Amino acid sequence: MKIIKRNGAEAAFDIEKIAMAVTKANLAVDEKVRMTPLQIRRISESVALACEETGRSPAVEEIQDLVEKAIMAHGAFEVAKEYITYRYTRNLLRQSNTTDDRILSLIECNNEEVKQENANKNPSINAVQRDYMAGEVSKDITRRILLPRDVVAAHEAGIIHFHDSDYYAQHMHNCDLVNLEDMLQNGTVISGTLIEKPHSFSTACNIATQIIAQVASNQYGGQSISLTHLAPFVQISRDKIRRSVETEMQIFGIRPDEETISQVVETRLREEIRRGVQTIQYQVVTLMTTNGQAPFITVFMYLNEARNDQEKKDLAMIIEETLRQRYEGVKNEKGVWITPAFPKLIYVLEEDNIGEGTPYFYLTRMAAECTAKRMVPDYISEKKMLELKVDMNGQGHCYTCMGCRSFLTPYVDPETNQPKYYGRFNQGVVTINLVDVALSSGRDMDKFWTIFDERLELCHKALLCRHERLKGTLSDAAPILWQYGALARLKKGEPIDKLLYGGYSTISLGYAGLYECVKYMTGKSHTDEAAKPFALQVMQHMNDACKGWKAAHNIDFSLYGTPLESTTYKFAKCLQKRFGMIPGITDKSYITNSYHVHVAEPIDAFTKLSFEAEFQQLSPGGAISYVEVPNMQQNIDAVLELMRFIYDNIMYAELNTKSDYCQVCGFDGEIQIREDDGKLVWECPQCGNRDQNKMNVARRTCGYIGTQYWNQGRTQEIRDRVLHL
C-alpha cells in the first residue's frame, strides 16, 4: 500500500511510523495516563486496516486524522491532546514556507500528483518543470494573498474547484476563438516583427502555426481556429501557380489547351495544400509553448462557413487533406505511426455532407474512417446547433468550441448589429461539486436547496474574483491577443475592460457529479424516468443563478459541463474524507464528469446520446457527449450510422476508441490496466511491459486525447468504462 506525502510524492505505507509517533506522544504525558504497548500496537493496526479499506493511496493528513480518532477511541485523551499539539506545531512550521518541498519534489520528478496532473505534459522535461514551479508559486500567492479565505477553504475541502490557480497570479484568461481571418487578411505582429498578408496558401499555414504558438503562450486554456480562414489563400496560390505554369509553357514554346493547363495547376495546388496542412500538423505536434506542452489547439472544419461556391470547394480540399494526414498519424521515435493528441479536429455535419449522394459525403466517410482509427474528428451537428444557439435577432449560428468543449454564447456586436464569435474568449471557470451538496444535505430536500444556493453564491464570489483579476489588464500584457488581432486590436496601454462586459466574453460556472448527486438524493440514476426531473431541476437552478448574476453585473455568466481531469480524483478523495465510503456514491476514486451517464452504467450509444442531448441544451457555456466503442475500423457503416444520429439528435459528440502501441514487442491493440499492490498500472497484454516510457497510450478523457497518462482516479474511471456499441 502506498501513501501520498505532503509534497505530492508517493511512499510505501509503514505501520512502524504510526507506532513511533503515538509512542512519542505517549511518553510526553504523565505515566498514570499512558497507554500500554499493546494498545499502541492495536491503534497502529486499526489505522492500517482503515487505510486499506479506502481502496486508494491515503494522504498523510488523512492518516493522522485516523490516528487521532483511534487514540481517543481508546480513552487516552491526554495522549491525543499531545499528538494534536505536536501535529499543529509542525503544521505551523511547514506554513512558514509553503512551496519549497513541492518545488523540490518537482525537480526530482517524485511528485506523483503533478506527474499525473495533465495528460499532455511530461513533468521530467525542463520546460514543464519550469511551468509547474511557477505554478506552485502562483498557487501559494493565490491561496495566501489573492483569494478570500472562504473561497480558499472551500477549494481545499473540494466543495468547489477554483480552476487554474497556478496561472491566477498573472492576468491571464482561459480559452478563445482566434480571429485568424483578421490576422491573415489584415496582417499582424509577432515578437515585434510585422507579418503582412501572405501571398500563398503554404505561407498562410506557416503564419497560422506561429500565431497558434504565440496565443498558447499567452493564455492557459484551449484555442480554436477555422480552416475556412485559410481557404481564400488557395485561390491566391492557384492564381500564382497558373502564372508560373503559363510562363514555363512560354519558355518551352508549348501551347497546351486550357484543360491541360488547369490540370497541371490543380496538381501543383494539391501538393501545396498537402505541404501546408502538413506544416500545421507537424508544427503543432512538435512545438512547445512556454507552459511546456504542445499548443492545445482545435481545428474547425465547417463547409457552410465558406462565403461562395469556389471557396467551399477549396475548403473541401483542405479538409480532405487534413483528414488524410490525421488518418495516417505521426511517427513515434521508433518510426511507428501513432495517434497524436493535437490538433483536435471538429467536423460539422450538415445537409450537403450527411447522406450518400450529397456533394461532400466523401469527406464524411473519410471523417468516419479517421475517427475509427485516430479518435478524431469529433462532430458538431449544424442542424441542432442552429436550433440551440440563437442570438438576439432570432438567428441561429454554428461555430466551434474553444478548445475541447467551452462554448461562447450567441452575441451580436452592438456597433454593427452582426453576429461575432471569432476574437472572443472565456474569462475562467469555477466548479461546484454537486455530490458534496447532496451529501451535506443528508437527503433532506429543503436542506439540499438551501446548501445549493449557499455553494452557488460561493462560486459567484469566486468567479467575480476571476473577473476582477482580469479587469484593468493592459493590452501590453499580451500584444498578440489584445493589440494584433487574435482577440482584439486595442491601442498600446489600453485596458481590456470593455471586452469583459456585455456578453463579448463569457465566464463559466462549472459543475461535476450530477449522476452521484441525483443517485444519493433519489436512490436512482438520472437516466431513470423517476429521477430525471430532479436532475433537470438541478441543471435549471444553476442556469437561473447564471441568469441572475448576468443581470446584476452585465457579465456573461454561463453554465459549463466541467471536464474534470485531475480534479475528479481530488473531489473523490475529499468526499471520502468528509463523508466516508458510501456505496455507489463515494466508493470510487473519481466522480462523474458534468451531466454524463456513469461510465459503468449499461446503456446503448443511441439512448445515451438522446438522453444527454437534453442536458447539453442546459449547458450553454460548454458540453460534449461521447460513446465508448470497440475497434470500428472494419465497420465504418456503423460509424456513419452514429454520425447520422448525432446530426439529427445532439449538438456535439464524439466516439471513443483505443489507439495504443507497445514499443517493446510491437503490440498495437489495447494496452490494459492492471492492479498491483493497490495501484493501477498500464501493461501490454502481449509481453507484460509496464514501462510507460516504452509504450504509446492514447485515451480521450475530457473531450481531448491524452497521451502522458493520468492520475489514479482518472485511470480507474478509464478502466471502468463500458462499451456503448
pLDDT, tens only, 54-65: 777 788 888 988
Low-confidence ranges of the chain (pLDDT < 70): 6-9, 92-129, 132, 288-293, 702, 708
200-243: per-residue pLDDT in tens?
A: 999 999 999 999 999 998 999 899 999 999 999 999 999 999 99
The secondary structure element, H or E, covering residue 103 is helix 100-107
SS (HEC) of 237-296: HHHHHHHHHHHHHHHHCCCCCHHHHHHHHHHHHHHHHHHHHHHHHHHHHHCCCCCCCCCC
Answer for the pair 43, 87: CB distance below 8 angstroms, yes or no.
no
- What is the residue whose three cell numbers read 454524463? 596
Burial 493-525 (b: 16+ CB within 10 A, else e): eeebeebbeebbbbbbbbbbbbbbbbbbbbeeb
Residue 480 in grid coordinates: 498578440
- Closest Cα partner for 342 from 315, 316, 375? 375
Q: What is the per-residue pLDDT for 520?
A: 98
Q: How many C-beta atoms surround the C-beta of residue 617 within 10 A?
A: 16
Query: What whole-number distance in Å separates Cα of residue 299 and Cα of residue 376?
Result: 11
465 catalytic per annotation: no
Q: What is the per-residue pLDDT for 121?
A: 56
By the 10 Å C-beta count (0-12 exposed, 13-18 middle, 19+ buried), 358 is classed as: middle
174 catalytic per annotation: yes
Query: What whole-number distance in Å separates Cα of residue 614 and Cα of residue 97?
Result: 48
- What is the residue whose three cell numbers read 500538423? 281
Residue 169: what residue type? Answer: A
Q: How many C-beta atoms surround the C-beta of residue 115 within 10 A?
A: 22
Q: What is the per-residue pLDDT for 338?
A: 86
- Closest Cα partner for 489 from 131, 183, 233, 281? 183
Show Cβ contacts of residue 265 under 8 Å, excluding neighbours closer than 6 positions.
238, 241, 242, 245
C-alpha neighbours within 13 Å on the C-beta side of residue 709:
23
Annotated catalytic residue, options 62, 82, 117, 565:
565
Phi, psi of 338 (to 5 degrees): -130, 175
The secondary structure element, H or E, covering residue 315 is helix 309-328
Q: What is the per-residue pLDDT for 341?
A: 83
- Closest Cα partner for 723 from 636, 597, 633, 568? 597
Show Cβ contacts of residue 243 under 8 Å, excluding neighbours closer than 6 positions.
none
Q: What is the per-residue pLDDT for 294?
A: 72
Annotated catalytic residue, options 105, 138, 224, 406:
406
Annotated catalytic residue, options 301, 370, 401, 404:
404
Phi, psi of 258 (to 5 degrees): -60, -40
175 catalytic per annotation: yes
Instruction: Return the axis-axis angle of helices 605-617 and 532-553, rounded to nearest 10°.
Output: 30
46 catalytic per annotation: no
What DSSP line would sit under 193-248, residue for residue?
EEEPPPSSHHHHHHHHHHHHHHHHTT-SS-EEEEGGGTTHHHHHHHHHHHHHHHHH
Annotated catalytic residue, options 51, 375, 402, 632:
402
Query: What whole-number distance in Å separates Cα of residue 160 and Cα of residue 458?
Result: 8
Query: What whole-number distance in Å separates Cα of residue 480 and Cα of residue 497?
Result: 17
Query: What whole-number distance in Å separates Cα of residue 578 and Cα of residue 591?
Result: 15
Annotated catalytic residue, options 399, 560, 647, 652:
560
381 catalytic per annotation: no
703 catalytic per annotation: yes
Annotated catalytic residue, options 26, 44, 200, 426:
426
Determine the number of helices (DSSP H) and then strands (DSSP E) in the chain. 24, 24
Answer for the pair 185, 137: CB distance below 8 angstroms, yes or no.
no
Answer for the pair 641, 606: CB distance below 8 angstroms, yes or no.
no
- Closest Cα partner for 579 from 260, 251, 233, 158? 158
Residue 460 Cα distances to 151, 301, 443, 457, angstroms: 10, 35, 25, 5
Give, rounded to a whole angstrom, the gap between the first and last alpha carbons of the chain: 36
Domain ranges of the chain: 1-96, 147-174+406-584, 175-342
Residue 541 in grid coordinates: 437552478
CATH number of 147-174+406-584: 3.20.70.20
Instruction: Specify whether the backbone of 23 is left (phi greater than 0), alpha (psi in -120 to 50) or beta.
Output: alpha
Annotated catalytic residue, options 26, 105, 174, 619:
174
Query: What whole-number distance in Å separates Cα of residue 153 and Cα of residue 169?
Result: 18
Residue count (the chain): 725
396 catalytic per annotation: no
Q: What is the per-residue pLDDT for 108?
A: 57
Query: What whole-number distance in Å separates Cα of residue 4 and Cα of residue 87?
Result: 17
- What is the residue whose three cell numbers read 507497445? 662
